[in-house]
Homo-oligomer: A and B are copies of this chain.
């Protein structure tokens, strides 16, 4: 059973309706070449490429529903940019380059100490499964150091 079928099956179990639109949206969410996360607009564009068109409002409503049902994660990349991915993508952090906008995925293992510290010190249960960190990637650092402008 692939990712699409898994999600569709979950919806069926939850007595939620399986519409052609929802199938297209779920397919778009899982049909990611590398393993990128997409904005609502990107998912919309990908769905439009199919035979039938789906209204943007439906994209938003369906994404909200999938997030609410715990089948999809909503990740805030900062600057008001939200991206979506199926939960199958697993936990990882996003290293967002402020310069070029490129997003690199990294392991969250190193954050375990932080999680424990926050609970012990502040009683705060941090959700570190899809955290976004901002900074500068290797390529942009080299470009900046060679230019050294401004």
Contacts and interface: CB of A to CB of B under 8 A. Distances in A.
A50 B114 CA distance: 42
Nearest to A123: B138
Interface string A118-140: 10011111111001011111100
Given A124-B136, A126-B133, A118 B141 contact: no
A95 B118 CA distance: 9
Number of copies: 2
Instruction: For chain A, give the interface size range.
Output: 20 to 34
B135 A125 contact: yes
Given A131-B133, A133-B131, A124 B110 contact: no
A111 to B, nearest CB: 6
A76 interface: yes
Contacts of A124: 95, 97, 104, 106, 133, 135-138
A108 B138 CA distance: 23
Nearest to A137: B124
A80 interface: yes
A4 to B, nearest CB: 27
10 contacts: A95-B126, A104-B124, A106-B124, A122-B138, A123-B137, A124-B138, A125-B136, A127-B133, A131-B133, A131-B134
Interface of A: 76, 78-80, 82, 95, 97-98, 104, 106, 110-111, 113-114, 117-118, 121-128, 131, 133-138, 141
